[in-house]
Every structure is written in structure tokens, then in C-alpha cells.
Amino acid sequence: MEPSGGSGASSLKPVMVAFDDYAQVCFEVERLATRVVIYMPGAPDPWSGSLVYVTPDRVSELDVTMLGAVRHLRQLGRDASWLSEHFDRDSSVSP
């Protein structure tokens, strides 16, 4: 089956993905039956990155717009204080 093309970057949802000992600001592309399709952006160029498929328990929503998340990545993570609330409420991810 070929990809349908989707609706582009505007449909990507900013999320935090927890890995074994770190977390990364990413974008949720789609939810499958047992996995979540995640775009892991690069920094400072968020339009260059990788796709990974993770279990839903590793993904948590961020209270930020897509543009806000992109700005954070382009600034190489500077001004990350808005993420401290996320780390405080998600004990599975440590800063």
C-alpha cells in the first residue's frame, strides 16, 4: 500500500517521546493499532529528521503549538522552561 500524501506538516502534533534514558520533542504523525508513527526532527533544521515507530506509552502530548515546538528546535533547545511542567507531571521522563 502506498502512502496517500496526507495533509502535510500542519497535521503533526507536538509530543514528547520517552526513550530509555532521555526524551525528545517530536511530532506525532499517526496512531496505528499498536504503535505511534513519530517524526523525530533534527535541530536546528526540524525539517530533516527520522521516522520511528514506538509504543503509545512512550508518547505524551505537549501543550505547545507546532510553531512553538519548531521554534524551540531551531533555537537548539534554548528557553526550554516551558518543558519543566511536562517533566514534573511525567515521572517516566527525567530531565
H helices present in the chain, as ranges: 66-74, 84-89
Question: Is 70 a domain residue?
Answer: yes
Distance CA 24, CA 22 (A): 7
Question: Is 58 a domain residue?
Answer: yes
pLDDT tier for residue 94 given thresholds of 50, 70 and 90: very low
Answer whether residue 45 shows pLDDT above 60: yes
Give the chain's domain count.
Answer: 1
Kindly state the cell numbers that stand for 3. Answer: 502512502
Distance CA 17, CA 12 (A): 14
* pLDDT tens per residue across span 53-81: 999 999 999 999 999 899 888 988 888 88
pLDDT tier for residue 2 given thresholds of 50, 70 and 90: very low
Q: Which domain holds residue 44?
A: 28-77
pTM comes to 0.78
